[in-house]
Structure 1
Amino acid sequence: MQAGYKFESDDGTESTGGALDESDEKPNSELLRIKADFRGSFGEPGDTLTFIPAARFWYDAANSETYYSVEAAIRLHWLEDKPFEFKYQKGSGAPNFNEGEQFSAGIVMSF
């Protein structure tokens, strides 16, 4: 559960960059969200390939609105301790809940 207050930060100047807020949450109003987060991993240690799905759902109780974000990653274990990952993401997420999709690829490094 997430609760709070959304302040309006407009100082009268035109800003550059950043994403527009596409949520139904109005400035100077209360926030009340219920969030569910689901993650998985399909693959055994030593496998060349691992499938990693994830989904997040938000229910905005203050505005009776729902938002979601889903992603699927395929991780290739070609280099020791540096797997290569392809990822697809769709949906929207906090704080702006902008709808969209994206593809990405990169090397995963853990410290």
Structure 2
Amino acid sequence: MTYEEFNAFCASLPAATHVMQWGGSHVWKVGGKVFAIGGWQEDVEARFTFKVSDLSYEVLQEQPGLRPAPYLASRGLKWIQHYAEPGLSDAELRDYIRQSHRIVSQGLSKKMRAALGLPVAE
């Protein structure tokens, strides 16, 4: 997946917003909360970071091309970074980013979800 494909996919998710921060990273948020990050450094292969469930974290952190996300996982947060091949297929990566969006959305207040047009009862 390229950064252009990553950005197009994230933009298709409900109430998603994009900012560039942290040295040029593509940061995607829902309700002001980060759900996906594309890149940390410009001079390396594309890297994608996303929030996962506890179970997914345990499974994914051991797969080649994936690792606990720098900075985020070191703070006890369940974030994975896809940083090299073989990693995840594009379809799997899209599924995990979609799940990350859902996890972060569910952490928003009911009032915020309603204001953003997201499902309130889940």
Structure 2 length-normalised TM: 0.27
Structure 1 length-normalised TM: 0.29
Bigger CA radius of gyration: 1
